[in-house]
Structure 1
Amino acid sequence: MFFVNYGGADGCPTTSVPSAGGCNSVFPAETIWRVSWSGLAYPLPEIYTTSGSQASQWKYLSLYSYLNHGSKFTFKGVMTQAGACNQAGPCSGTNNGPSTGWSQLNTAVNTDSRTATTPDGPTDIRWK
């Protein structure tokens, strides 16, 4: 049994490794690491942005893990929201579909040998 942290990395940098207290005051990088990778936890990041910014944030969080804790993340997939956006209204700039979100994360983490991995398959949020 394991725990999956599905969530965002709001406030984390998109071009550099965050400090332990970096990202935002509610969920600093060290807390994101703890709930995403310590013990039996795995990250399932939200990759909603069509710009790829969230994929970059998670790449640098994986590098943070490697540099500060000795191991990169193993991603249990990618979460997108195209289905919900199609049902509930426009989500301009945050409506990645599953294959696009997965591709963004896969590309981002594989630009650095220290974070290189293949994420598990994507999932997409939809309303009932």
Structure 2
Amino acid sequence: MNTTTRRLLAATTLTTALALPTPAHAATDYPGHTTSSYVVLTDTTTTQAHQHGCAEGRTGTTGPRILFFGTQEKNDTLREPGRTASSPTPRAPYTQAAQYAHHWARGFTECRTDQATAHLALGVNNKDDSGLTGTHAGQRWAHLVTTARDNSTTDAVTITTALDAEPSWSTPRWARDWLTAYTKATDIPLYAANSADSCPTTTSGDCANGWTLADVHHMAGAGNPRIHVIPQIYRTDGIQARQWANISRWGHTHTGDPLRFAGAMSQHTACSQRSCNNTDNTPQQAWAQLKKALDAHHSTRVNNLGPATDMRWP
């Protein structure tokens, strides 16, 4: 198979999956989950990347997996997840993220069962404490993901992008500039794995850090068909699910465009590795909370909500 044909097939696979066709099972059936990871590049090896991909391949589950590499900094480097700008931890070059993705994809392909496929989303967050502009950060991440996708050697794994956009981490302007720059630089689809910090559950009030519902709705895809949201549904009380249903309802009312939900994100495994307080929904609990909240209103009802994805540390 030549390179052009392989890329066309990969693009077709990604478009089909993002369209989320109605599954054969009933719409209310939980479709299972995948595992996504925070990746500390300075502590990992190509062997570990291969092992992590292999473990996901063996599950036989088709769906997105997100690799969160942390925060973008100057000179195309990454600060590991969970660290501030003042942290002395070593920075890793973007190229290490591409190499990790390559070996993860090889492992997945070699070990997969039931002809499973994956969308491997290379993710960063919207922390604006590194001195980069949102425009520069979005452009450079688009370049990295495009390069990684062009160099892919397997049709079982499609390289795509993820952004963990959280209102508490940047100004809305910085985040909007990132997304604008990214979408201008590439047509590779993006998974929005976002939070909705302090957003209302039933009204049109504001969210945290000067963000409005319009800002959160925009960063979750708004009218862009290449962006699907996998929102963070961590809290056991269900508030986050109701926030996201309200954001989607707001979009339907004010812009005519409810959000395109690809699934729900939990952090149950990460909480078992590091302590959490009432934010340890299982993947099935996160999925069920979101599905219930979305189905409560006709404008946000979904018949084919995709699998959950559960975060873990390496």
Give yes or no for contact 1:62–1:73 (8 Å, CA) kept in 2: yes
Q: Report the Cα distance in structure 2 between the residues aligned to 1:26 and 1:34, rounded to whole angstroms.
A: 14
Q: 2:278 aligns with which of 81, 84, 93?
A: 93
Specify the alignment match of 1:30 in structure 2: 214
TM-superposed CA distance for 1:77, in Å, is: 1.0
Q: Report the Cα distance in structure 2 between the residues aligned to 1:84 and 1:42, rounded to whole angstroms.
A: 23
The DSSP-based 3-state class of the residue aligned with 2:286 is helix
Q: TM-score, normalised by structure 2?
A: 0.38
Specify the alignment match of 1:64 in structure 2: 250
Structure 1 pair 119–64 and aligned structure 2 pair: CA distance change class (3 A): same
Specify the alignment match of 1:125 in structure 2: 311
Q: Report the Cα distance in structure 1 between the residues aligned to 2:233 and 2:308, rounded to whole angstroms.
A: 10
Specify the alignment match of 1:109 in structure 2: 294
Give yes or no for contact 1:17–1:61 (8 Å, CA) kept in 2: no
Specify the alignment match of 1:81 in structure 2: 267
RMSD: 1.3
Q: TM-score, normalised by structure 1?
A: 0.90
Q: Report the Cα distance in structure 2 between the residues aligned to 1:68 and 1:110, rounded to whole angstroms.
A: 19
Query: 1 or 2, which has the higher helix percentage?
Result: 2
TM-superposed CA distance for 1:69, in Å, is: 1.0
The DSSP-based 3-state class of the residue aligned with 2:312 is coil
Q: Report the Cα distance in structure 1 between the residues aligned to 2:233 and 2:247, rounded to whole angstroms.
A: 14
Give ranges in structure 2 of 5+ residues lacking alignment.
1-187
Task: Give the counterpart letter for 1:103 in structure 2.
Answer: A
The structure that has the greater radius of gyration is 2
Structure 1 pair 123–75 and aligned structure 2 pair: CA distance change class (3 A): same
Give yes or no for contact 1:5–1:41 (8 Å, CA) kept in 2: yes
The DSSP-based 3-state class of the residue aligned with 2:271 is helix
Deviations along 1:74-109, one digit per CA (max 9) or x if unpaired, are: 2111110000000112x1210001000000000001
Give ranges in structure 1 of 5+ residues lacking alignment.
none
